[in-house]
Amino acid sequence: MAITGDFLVATDIRWVYEAESPREARSRLERFYELARIAGTPEVLRLAKTIKRWEPEVLSFFTTGRTNARSEAMNLVTEKLRRNAHGIRNFENYRLRLLLHSGVQWNTQPTARIRGRHPRLSA
């Protein structure tokens, strides 16, 4: 299989993520857009257009610690709960269950006692 110029242009996007700073990544993106325009292939132009549309998110990779693992983990927990929540009809209960499974700590009010101190023994 021969490596074409289009393949090289499309894989050039990987070098954006190897940049040391957002400024360097931005200049690499500009280089990618230029190479895509020169290539002129519809698929590569569509890729460049998509990357251009998502440019703020691509560049946020450099300002957020280079990972989105925490948000993906929370999305996974939420999605698992959503799949198991078929019987929940009350949105507030669903929200509380999401918070419970997400590990969020919140203050709850103590429940009222139904019985006195010494419940009667039943036979």
pLDDT at 122: 57
Q: What is the pLDDT along the chain (123 residues), one digit of tens a residue?
A: 344 566 677 677 888 888 888 899 999 999 999 988 888 888 889 989 999 999 988 888 888 777 777 778 888 888 887 777 767 788 888 887 777 777 777 677 777 766 666 656 655
**C-alpha distances out from residue 21 to 33, 57, 59, 100, Å:** 18, 14, 9, 38
Domain boundaries, the chain: 5-60, 69-102
pLDDT at 1: 34
Sequence-ordered alpha helix ranges (H) in 20-108: 22-39, 42-53, 55-60, 69-84, 91-102
| Cα 74 to chain centroid, rounded | 9
pLDDT at 30: 93
What is the end-to-end Cα distance of the chain in Å, rounded? 84
98 φ, ψ (degrees, to nearest 5): -60, -45
Rounded-to-integer distance, Cα 91 and Cα 70, Å: 24
The pTM of this model reads 0.52
